[in-house]
Structure 1
Amino acid sequence: MAQNKGLGKVIAAGLAAVLCLGLLSACSGSKDGNASGSKSNKLVIYSPNSEGIMNNIIPAFEEETGIKVEVISAGAGEIIKRLLSEANNPYCDINFGGINYAIYKQNPELFERYVSPNDKNLAPEFQNTTGFYTNYTINGSCLLVNKNLAANIKIEGYADLLNPALKGKIATSDPANSSSAFAQLTNILLAMGGYENAGAWDYMEKLVKQWDGKVLSGSSAVYKGVADGEYTVGLTYEDPCATLVANGAPVEIVFPKEGAVFLPSGAAIIKGSKNLENAQKFIDFLISEKAQSIFGEKLTNRPILASVPSKNLEPIGNIYTIVEDIPYIADHKNELTDRYKKLFASLQ
């Protein structure tokens, strides 16, 4: 099992999701303009990202460029399904969040080739080597603990989740439909012995029994359920949890002592985008110093631009991290998801 205690070697395979619907509006035109020949002033974005990201990054982009953005928010899995159904006539221009190497490799026909001139400013391990998707932040899998409900229950890592006192009190979502839940699945397997390790899957069987049949609708339901006192602990990711902590919720973030995986979040232009030039401008903006400073100063996201620090998060050097096997996950994502689904079904 590869291990790492710093950012330099952390690489990724996955990603975080929020379920809320945006307003739809008509969008028409050619790749570089509308039917009348004038340049488009529109951009349509599908995103699983948190409200904090969308409420800060989108207005800043609109102010910077004068482009009007329409946002449609949904879970990462639902977005991919929608993109597949719209492949012959895409409504969306950008998939902002939930994109990683595995998603790209499984659905290469969905995305448009583009490498931002700003990409060269990123650390080599985070650069756009596929030519199609751009990484813009990094995020770690974590446990979110309700301090009031946990009381004297020790929760320091995955092994502690098998405590009988936590049965039915662990919030999680479906790895087949949530990028953050899939990231937790691979993090757990890696931390507990390896993706194919019998002991790791034995642990997963015991953990699924602890869920007591409860699987929530999406990533946001997990951390909200813990913050609202419906669950004692949740399998989730750092960004929204850090926001809850900052806002005074009775919760704390626990990075599992067995090791946490940090994953970059990516964005990609959709093949056949009707507002291609605007989509390219959005990718450029995401990894500009201005946008990265918003992540670092105003939000609970770790900037991917090394020169921009995060003012709101635990230094990554203080966290015990483990490194995901990117090629393995890309080649075996469906296999891992199917194995989990069969395991879950067999225990119901």
Structure 2
Amino acid sequence: MKKVISTIAVSGLATLMASTAFAAGETITINSFGGAYEKAHRACVITPFEEATGAKVQVVTAYSADAFAQLRAQAEAPQFDVIHFSGGQEIVGAKEGLLSPIDPASLSNAADLYDFAKANLAAGEGPAYSIAAIGLVYNSVTVPKEPASWSDLLDKAYADHIVLTDISNGYGMLGFLMLNKVKGGSLDNIQPGLDAVTELLDNGAIVVSTSPEIQQEFAQNDAWVAPYASDYAYTLRKAGLPAAFVQGKEGTPASFITANLVAGRDNQELALKFIDMSISAKAQACFAEQLRYSPTNAKVVLDGEVAADVAYGEEAVAGLIRFDPTVIEAKRSEWVDAWNRTIAR
């Protein structure tokens, strides 16, 4: 028995050494989103990857839109090996040939992903390794009753205590589109959502532009409910506020955070190793614990407090809704104009 264990151990060590020898001294370049996200990114993926492979990861701090603009500008000689998006830019990037198709067999953790997270690998759209789930953030102490649905926003029991976020904010846009959907609208018709916003404002709701303003309303102005992302309930709790999160029963709009393989780079094998680590259960559990992003790997195990803050498990992720990012981008200016006219009062 000891001999068998020893043989396995030596074999495993040899495999690791071979991988390390392959990668030692190599560098891949990625983007990350700065701040708390980048800190978690380093803890959950970047540092473990460097330790496991001997490679170095050069990080360029760039949000999705800026990173995509750079990728387009550098199409003939891209700087990134792996590029991360949260706004659906991988759909456009894949169509433009800026991203490489991924064979699921090249990712050891791909089989553990929910189907939606790996649906278009062959088209060049990288896997989703985290989800920002949009639902209802609420004050668990002062709220007269716990909200359970998007329709509850229109319940006059919450009048004067609702905080909406401007649709210039990505999370605000997703929350608005979900309210529009619940009221019978679609991406071709946002008038039902605008009518609902008018009703909310008539009931005393307010509109803010940024997440710090949401915190201010909860801390100082007796806000009870805000349609926003699951991770922000955690942010509010860390600030000492009694915040909780619930997915609306009609569904949960989601921002997919993806890791994409850039076309035209020489070290794609090493880049694929980085993507593979990003979609691992260990890395995704780390993101959930540190930032409260929802995992896309079915093997992730979360404790009660963390699980309560995210869309967790097969049933919860079944309610995730992804509004077509290409339609949102195409209609954004038109929608913002209509929104601004609606909230002007």
| TM-score above 0.5 | yes
Q: 2:335 maps to what in 1?
A: 340
Change (3 A) 1:313 1:274: same
Would you say 1:286 and 2:286 are equivalent positions? no
Gaps of 5+ in 1: 1-37
Structure 2 residue identity aligned to 1:313: A
TM-score, normalised to structure 2's length?
0.68
- The answer as to whether partners of 2:27 and 2:58 remain within 8 angstroms in 1 is no
2:196 aligned counterpart, secondary structure: helix
- The answer as to whether partners of 2:37 and 2:291 remain within 8 angstroms in 1 is no
TM-score, normalised to structure 1's length?
0.67
Q: 2:57 maps to what in 1?
A: 69
Structure 2 residue identity aligned to 1:107: G
Which moved further from structure 2: 313-322 or 126-135?
Answer: 313-322
Structure 2 residue identity aligned to 1:214: V
Distance 1:292 1:64 in 2: 17
How much does 1:249 deviate? 3.5
Deviations 1:320-344 (A, max 9, x none): 97453x6x72563235423421212
- The answer as to whether partners of 2:285 and 2:295 remain within 8 angstroms in 1 is yes
Q: 2:86 maps to what in 1?
A: 98
Change (3 A) 1:47 1:329: same
- The answer as to whether partners of 2:81 and 2:262 remain within 8 angstroms in 1 is yes
Would you say 1:172 and 2:165 are equivalent positions? yes
Distance 2:318 2:183 in 1: 13
Identity %: 21
Report the number of matched residues. 301
How much does 1:190 deviate? 2.3
Distance 1:231 1:76 in 2: 34
Deviations 1:272-327 (A, max 9, x none): 44754442221111123442443466663333221222222135578697453x6x
Deviations 1:198-220 (A, max 9, x none): 4344224545786656322xxx5
- The answer as to whether partners of 2:277 and 2:283 remain within 8 angstroms in 1 is yes
2:209 aligned counterpart, secondary structure: coil
Structure with more helix by fraction: 2
Q: 2:230 maps to what in 1?
A: 238
2:324 aligned counterpart, secondary structure: helix
Distance 1:208 1:339 in 2: 21
Distance 2:68 2:241 in 1: 32
Structure 2 residue identity aligned to 1:54: H
- The 5-angstrom pairing of residues 112-123 of structure 1 reads 112-115=100-103, 116-118=106-108, 119-123=110-114
Which moved further from structure 2: 296-305 or 56-65?
Answer: 296-305
Deviations 1:107-165 (A, max 9, x none): 333323333433233233332423331122344211222457x5548755444445597
Distance 1:283 1:65 in 2: 13
Mark the structure with the bigger radius of gyration: 2
Would you say 1:194 and 2:189 are equivalent positions? no
Change (3 A) 1:182 1:41: same
Would you say 1:127 and 2:121 are equivalent positions? no
Q: 2:134 maps to what in 1?
A: 141
Would you say 1:44 and 2:34 are equivalent positions? no
Distance 2:86 2:65 in 1: 9
Which of 196, 215, 218 aligns to 1:203? It is 196
How much does 1:266 deviate? 1.6
Change (3 A) 1:221 1:72: farther
Gaps of 5+ in 2: 1-23
Change (3 A) 1:197 1:294: closer
Q: 1:10 maps to what in 2?
A: none
Distance 1:213 1:247 in 2: 21
- The 5-angstrom pairing of residues 220-235 of structure 1 reads 220-221=211-212, 224-225=215-216, 229=220, 232=223, 233-235=225-227
Structure 2 residue identity aligned to 1:94: V
How much does 1:240 deviate? 4.2
Structure 2 residue identity aligned to 1:95: I
Change (3 A) 1:306 1:269: same
- Cα RMSD for the two superposed structures: 4.0
Distance 1:89 1:222 in 2: 41
